[in-house]
Every structure is written in structure tokens, then in C-alpha cells.
Amino acid sequence: MISILMLFASFFGLLWYGVPVAYSIGISTTVTILLNIALLPGITTVAQRMTTGIDSFPLLAIPFFVLAGELMNRGGVANRLINLAKSLVGSLPGGLAYVNTLAAMLFGAISGSAVAAASAIGSVMTDRMESEGYPRPFSAALNITASTTGLLIPPSNVLIIYALASGGAASVEALFIAGYVPGILVGLALMGVAAVIAYKRKFQRGERTSLGQIWLDFRRAFFSLLMLVVVVGGIVLGFFTATEAAAVAVAYALVLGAAYRTISFKDLPSIILNSGKTTAVVMFLICTSMAMSWLFSFEGIPQLMTDFLLNTVSNPILIFLLINLTLLVVGTFMDMTPAVLIFTPIFLPVVVSLGMDPVHFGIVMVLNLCIGLCTPPVGTILFVGAGIAKISVAEVIKPLLPFLAAMIAVLMLITFFEDITLWLPRVFGL
């Protein structure tokens, strides 16, 4: 009990003091281990657990998907997707709100990054929406929440990380397929909220697009959209693993950028450098988080949590609500990668003992943490979206609330109706 108290007290104390999350995890883990083990073996244990934590073939997919996303971001894909979305839904009342959402969903799914989607789509759509009478805080709030759908719709790095944290209980392939319906539901829910607001505020309707223009915009965006089919289709059909698919995605994005003439050889050093920096941050978070996860097992925390919840709360519905509430709170102050790696070993045994499928729980967990990315005080996408829109975070909070409510409604729906998440994996036999 002393070790557990030391672990959490030091961890949250360091976070409160402003120490970066990865360092907070590593320092608190090391201090707690040294309570039980001598200095030299204790330090050696932490180093071993950090290195063996990333000694995983599936994790090779992360740097490749990061690089593919950077190539797509630099390759002019965002404008093509925005033009296609505007052709499809721009003529509806409040049409640019739907364009923002649909474009963020498509770009987020292709790039696998919520930050990239918020940056690429927000930088284009915010000014365009303002010129047609949409308030900047509304545009920013919609862009912030819509950008997170790419973390559910594959390919998604966080789903790969959850598969690792689950200890093989959930496969990457099953998680990729399972993310489609919940991700689309979140997008539709956001569009629904935008439609109500557009009707009340009488946002203007865009110009009707001809079938010829729709076809032209589809042709221009076709090869960008085809990346999803190549990557996910290849995994499902068994042509390559998720890691191999990530390498295919890099090659595809590179060829696409060259074909569009938006990426040249002189751009590659900066693209690779930015991808390397992002990968280094993610991998360091994984290293320290895996060391903390091992410490949880060493101290028996997952078993203690399982016994506590099952013995004190008899109703499974209340347990699921309690876990959701905990993850929503965690998401407000912790980045998604360490949250998945730290809390999956704690909560997964609980939900599995209650009959929840590990794949289902993975999607529920990711959606919980997606909501956290949009909320203060540490919401990464919140700050990125506000920065792109050139407004303060305080201005975004009020228009953000109805969109967060829509995301929470979808969260409750997929939590208690698992067929929404699992029917596609079952169709493909995953």
C-alpha cells in the first residue's frame, strides 16, 4: 500500500508541478521501485522494462504511420478532401459546418493524426467559414472535436498502442475494423449538432454543386481516399500485417506527393526530421509507460482494482459508468498514449471479467480519451485548434460544450450496445 501511495502521489505531484508527462511517469516509477529494490538493480530494472517495452514488431507501425501522415499533410491532400466534402454537402443549410466535419474525418483517417487534421483542415476552413458568416469560436470548436474521429477510423496509432497494452487480447486488425462505425457515428453526431445550431442561427446555404463538379472533385481526391482502401483492405484480406501496411502507406504517400508535384526531394529531410521528432516523443512515452505498467503488475494493482470494483459495486452498468467517468477525468490531464498504456492493464481485467470484449473496450477507451483531448487543462487538440483559429481557449469553451455532449452521447451508446462496435469485425471473422 505504501508503494502504491508513493507511486500515485509522486506521479500526480510531478504533473501538478508542471513536469512533462513522460518524465513524471519515469521518475515516479523509479522512485517507487527503489522503495522495494536496491539502487543498482532498481535502476537496471527500470531500464530493462523501458527497452523491452518497445521491443515489439507491431510498434514499428508507429514511425511509418507518422511519416505517412506527414507526407500526406505536406502533399496537398487537405485541399482536395475539403473540395470533395464541399461538393457533397456544401449546398445544405450550414453546409460549411458539414464540410469541416467530413473533411476532418477523411483527413484524420488518412493521416492517422488528430493534430494533423486539426492543423490542416482548421487552417483552411476557419477563414473560409468566417467569410460566410460563421463565428470563429464555432468553427474552431467543430474542427477540434471532428479532428479526433481520425483516432477511431483506421489507420490509428493509438489503436496499435492499445493492442500492445492489451497483451494480445485484442488484435490490431480487429481494432481497425471495429473503429469504423463508432468513428462515423461521432462524425454524424457532430454534424447533427451543427445542423441544429445552423438552423437556429440561420447560417447561409452554400451554392448547389453540379454532378460534373462532384465527379471532378472526386477524381482529384480519389487517390488520396484510395490509401484507406489499400492499407485497411490489405490488412483485412491478409496481404500484409499492420506494420507492413504502415510501410506501404509511406510508399503510397511518397508516390502520391510526387504525382501531385507537391513534394520534392528537397522537402524530404524536413519531413523525415519532423516525423523523427514526433516518433521520439511517442516512443519515450511508451518506454516510461511500459515501465509503470510492469510496476502495476509487480504491485498487483490490476488484481486489487478488479477485486475492489467487483466486491463493492455489484451492478455491471455502474462499473462501466464508473470506468467511463474515470477515463474521462484522466483524459483531461493526461495525453492519450500514456493513458492507454497505464490504464489498460488496470481496467481490462475488470471489464473482461464482466463479459466485455477486449476489442469493444479498446474503442470505448479511445473515445473516452478523444473527448479528453478536447478539454482543458491538457487537451492537446483544444490548444492546437484554438491556436490555428487565432482565438483564445476561453472563447472556444462555450461553443465546444454541445459538441462534447454529442460525443459523450455516442460514448454511452457504444458502451452499452457492443454490437455497434463488434458487428464489422464479426463479419470479417476477426
pLDDT in tens, 35-93: 878 888 888 888 888 888 777 777 787 788 788 877 877 776 767 777 777 777 766 77
**What 8-state DSSP symbol labels residue 422?**
H
C-alpha cell at 425: 469485425
The answer to whether the beta carbons of residues 14 and 23 sit under 8 Å apart is yes
Instruction: Mark the ranges of the chain whose per-residue pLDDT is less than 70.
Output: 1, 76, 78, 90-91, 111-112, 204-208, 377-378
Are 26 and 127 part of one and the same domain?
no
Q: Which of left, alpha, beta for 300 (phi over 0: left; psi -120 to 50: alpha)?
A: left
pTM, two decimals, is 0.82
pLDDT in tens, 372-417: 888 876 677 888 888 888 888 888 888 899 999 999 999 999 998 9
The answer to whether the beta carbons of residues 369 and 361 sit under 8 Å apart is no
Residue 127: how many CB atoms within 10 A of its CB? 13
Are 48 and 75 part of one and the same domain?
no
- Rg, the chain, Cα only: 22
In terms of Cα–Cα distance, which of 144, 142, 81 is closest to 110?
A: 81
In terms of Cα–Cα distance, which of 248, 255, 257 is closest to 228?
A: 248
Domain-terminating residue out of 53, 69, 92:
53
C-alpha cell at 222: 480519389
Note the pLDDT of residue 411: 94
**Nearest 10 degrees: CA dihedral of 53, 55, 59, 61?**
160
Q: How far, in Å, CA of 175 to CA of 196, rounded?
A: 32
Are 16 and 118 part of one and the same domain?
no
Q: How far, in Å, CA of 97 to CA of 142, rounded?
A: 7
Q: How far, in Å, CA of 251 to CA of 279, rounded?
A: 18
In terms of Cα–Cα distance, which of 130, 316, 117, 93 is closest to 207?
A: 93
DSSP 33-82: HHHHS-HHHHHHHHHHHHHHHT--GGGGHHHHHHHHHHHHHHTTHHHHHH
**What 8-state DSSP symbol labels residue 149?**
G
Note the pLDDT of residue 90: 63
Sign of CA dihedral 53, 56, 61, 64: positive
Are 173 and 29 part of one and the same domain?
no
CA distances from 340 to 98, 159, 249, 335, 430 (A): 30, 9, 24, 9, 22
C-alpha cell at 183: 468513428
Domain-terminating residue out of 28, 53, 78:
53
Are 46 and 61 part of one and the same domain?
no
For the chain, how many structural domains are there in total?
2
Are 381 and 398 part of one and the same domain?
yes
Are 21 and 113 part of one and the same domain?
no
Are 30 and 140 part of one and the same domain?
no
The answer to whether the beta carbons of residues 373 and 417 sit under 8 Å apart is no
Question: Residue 158 belongs to what domain range?
Answer: 54-427
Q: How far, in Å, CA of 151 to CA of 179, rounded?
A: 8
Are 155 and 19 part of one and the same domain?
no
Return the bridge partners of 93, or none. 205
Sign of CA dihedral 128, 199, 146, 181: negative
Please state whether the peptide bond connecting residue 302 to the residue before it is cis, i.e. omega within 30 degrees of 0: no
Note the pLDDT of residue 104: 82
Domain-terminating residue out of 15, 30, 53:
53
CB proximity list for 232: less than 8 A, separation 6 or greater: 154, 155, 176, 177, 245
Q: How far, in Å, CA of 19 to CA of 34, rounded?
A: 20
Are 275 and 401 part of one and the same domain?
yes
Are 42 and 166 part of one and the same domain?
no
Are 1 and 64 part of one and the same domain?
no
